[in-house]
């Protein structure tokens, strides 16, 4: 028997196939059963009649939600069925029956958020799926080599206030990484164009719909690349991801009821405005922001509402940015940094910059930021041995997916969210 995934059903119209999955839901109407099966690639409605398939009917009747099943039947086009095809069920093999005494805890009705989060390991089975990202494909196509960064680090990358300290061996202190950047600056000096894509950690005390304490970041880094080129790469990456989601995941976006017209425009060129102009935009809207202020979530929304696609804000005051950022040659009080703000109030999805490549200036900045020079000797080596201008950025995976899916809260788009008050399950 041909085993297929539900996603492939369209290619097997009129043929008998086998699907291995779970019973998502079932409607019973006398001598007819209408089970809905899911297998992780999609859902398909089945039809089973007592008269034609008494054995299959008996297996299915009363079967509990989320029981695992292998079903065989003929695929046929059906306009009214979700996905456009249905399965005429002829054989059912129950792999594991969920006991009536312990029914699947997540019913197909509204549950409170805390209840759902406590059952996150089961909640993820409902078909709100995230868009599958084309991010790796894009980076590979641009000639970037994937190099991994460590999770244990000896020092901070993005400020000391959000470090998770861990007890390393023999009472030595280590920290969970906030960003792989410093390490891929090293691999960029070895391989030219690199990226890392992995978990990062921030002891964020913020309880917002944009903050996690553990999230994934995709970070490219390239030698001989300056700020403008890094911004072009960021624009290309985000466009590629959005266009791929529109092309390959339209059904999922429909399930999520995403207004995709808002995503169609996400193509280069993205608007670019300087931090100083962004402050003017805020002031025009009556916001009290002034030069030197950080741009918070509400301010990001005001700025991004001016545009129909993501906007890149560049050249922030050096005083509010990270220690490693290269100053603008014409305006040393500004850092060659940029943030990409997503539309529709989703805020910053990318932060990046050109890096300081001058040894003396980097030492000066480490001291100004009270960072332990010992722990940064290896990083200073990159400025001792063939230092070159280089740039990169970090794209927050969950923030990007939340925006593309139109999710209310970032916790919906990561299988096991880690937040201020949540480390279970
Ligand atoms: O702007 P950030 O802090 O930049 C860096 O970490 C740089 N070292 C990256 C680099 O240049 N290689 O973080 C980058 C992105 C943000 O734009 C945001 O999308 C995401 O990471 N991010 C978070 N996402 C969820 N929860 C949090 N607490 C986040 N903090 C940052
Ligand atoms: Mg940032």
- pLDDT band, very low/low/confident/very high, at 330 (cuts 50, 70, 90): very high
Model pLDDT, residue 131: 36
Average of per-residue pLDDT values in the chain: 92
Model pLDDT, residue 254: 86
Average pLDDT over residues 253-266: 92
Q: Tell whether ligand 1 has an atom less than 6 A from the beta carbon of residue 398.
A: yes
The ligand 1 atom nearest the CA atom of 392: 11
Cα separation, 326 vs 329, whole angstroms: 9
- pLDDT band, very low/low/confident/very high, at 71 (cuts 50, 70, 90): very high
DSSP state of 43: E
Average pLDDT over residues 245-250: 86
CA of 202 to the centre of ligand 2 (A): 12
Q: Cis ω on the peptide bond leading into residue 125 (within 30° of 0)? A: no
CA of 349 to the centre of ligand 2 (A): 8
pLDDT at 144 over 80: yes
pLDDT at 349 over 50: yes
The two three-digit tokens of residue 340, written as one number: 């990409």
Q: Tell whether ligand 1 has an atom less than 6 A from the beta carbon of residue 158.
A: yes
Closest CA to 87 of 175, 18, 163: 18
Q: Do the Cβ atoms of 217 and 395 come closer than 8 Å?
A: yes
CB atoms within 10 A of CB 317: 18
Model pLDDT, residue 156: 85
Smallest CA separation from ligand 1 atom 24, residue: 396
pLDDT at 69 over 90: yes
Closest CA to 350 of 322, 287, 392, 402: 392
Cα separation, 300 vs 210, whole angstroms: 12
Strand bridging mode 16-29 / 2-4: parallel
Cα separation, 5 vs 34, whole angstroms: 19
Cα separation, 220 vs 207, whole angstroms: 28
Closest CA to 261 of 246, 274, 251, 271: 246
Helix-helix angle 275-284:297-304, to 10 degrees: 90
- pLDDT band, very low/low/confident/very high, at 132 (cuts 50, 70, 90): very low
CA distances from 29 to 33, 34, 57, 108 (A): 6, 8, 12, 19
Q: Do the Cβ atoms of 328 and 337 come closer than 8 Å?
A: no
Model pLDDT, residue 285: 97
Name which residue leads in pLDDT, 128 or 332: 332
Q: Tell whether ligand 1 has an atom less than 6 A from the beta carbon of residue 244.
A: no
CA of 338 to the centre of ligand 2 (A): 9
pLDDT at 143 over 60: yes
Percent of the chain at pLDDT exceeding 70? 97
Taking CB atoms within 8 Å and a gap of at least 24, the contacts of 33-39 are: 33/57, 33/60, 33/61, 33/89, 35/60, 35/63, 35/71, 35/89, 36/82, 37/6, 37/69, 37/71, 37/87, 38/6, 38/125, 38/127, 39/5, 39/6
Strand bridging mode 43-49 / 85-96: parallel
pLDDT at 126 over 80: no
Model pLDDT, residue 128: 43
Please state which of the ranges 33-47, 96-110, 251-265, 353-367 shows the lowest mean pLDDT.
96-110
Which residue of 351, 353, 398, 400 sits with most ligand 1 atoms within 8 Å of its CB, as the best mutation to test the pocket? 351
pTM (two decimals): 0.86
Q: Do the Cβ atoms of 197 and 134 come closer than 8 Å?
A: no
């Amino acid at each position: 028997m041909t085993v297929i995934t539900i996603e492939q059903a369209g290619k097997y119209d009129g043929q008998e196939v086998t699907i291995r999955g779970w019973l998502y839901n079932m409607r019973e109407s006398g001598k007819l059963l209408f089970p809905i099966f899911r297998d992780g690639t999609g859902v398909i409605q089945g039809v089973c009649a007592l008269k034609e398939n008494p054995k299959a009917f008996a297996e299915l009747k009363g079967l509990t939600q989320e029981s695992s099943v292998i079903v065989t039947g003929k695929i046929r086009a059906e306009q009214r069925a979700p996905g456009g095809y249905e399965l005429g069920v002829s054989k059912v093999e129950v792999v594991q029956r969920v006991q009536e005494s312990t029914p699947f805890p997540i019913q197909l009705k509204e549950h409170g958020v805390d209840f759902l989060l406590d059952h996150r390991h089961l909640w993820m089975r409902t078909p709100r799926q995230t868009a599958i990202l084309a991010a790796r494909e894009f980076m590979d196509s641009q000639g970037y080599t994937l190099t991994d960064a460590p999770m244990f680090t000896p020092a901070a990358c993005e400020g000391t206030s959000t470090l998770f300290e861990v007890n390393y061996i023999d009472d030595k202190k280590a920290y969970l990484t906030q960003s792989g950047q410093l390490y891929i600056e090293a691999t960029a000096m070895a391989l030219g164009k690199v990226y890392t894509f992995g978990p990062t950690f921030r002891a964020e005390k913020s309880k917002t719909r944009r903050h996690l304490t553990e999230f994934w970041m995709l970070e490219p880094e390239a030698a001989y690349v300056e700020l403008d080129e890094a911004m072009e790469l960021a624009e290309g990456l985000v466009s590629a991801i959005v266009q791929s989601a529109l092309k390959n995941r339209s059904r999922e976006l429909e399930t999520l009821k995403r207004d995709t017209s808002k995503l169609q425009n996400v193509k280069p060129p993205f608007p670019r405005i300087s931090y100083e102009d962004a402050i003017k935009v805020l002031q025009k809207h009556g916001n009290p922001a002034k030069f030197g202020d950080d741009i918070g979530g509400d301010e990001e929304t005001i700025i991004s509402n001016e545009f129909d696609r993501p906007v890149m804000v560049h050249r922030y005051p050096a005083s509010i940015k990270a220690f490693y950022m290269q100053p603008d040659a014409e305006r040393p009080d500004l850092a060659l940094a940029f943030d990409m703000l997503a539309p529709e109030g989703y805020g910053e999805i990318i932060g990046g910059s050109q890096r300081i490549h001058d040894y003396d200036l980097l030492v000066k900045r480490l001291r100004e930021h009270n960072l332990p020079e010992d722990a940064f000797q290896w990083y200073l080596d990159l400025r001792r041995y063939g230092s070159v201008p280089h740039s990169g950025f970090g794209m927050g995976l969950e923030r990007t997916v939340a925006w593309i899916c139109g999710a209310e809260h970032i916790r919906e788009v990561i299988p096991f969210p880690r937040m201020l008050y949540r480390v279970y399950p």
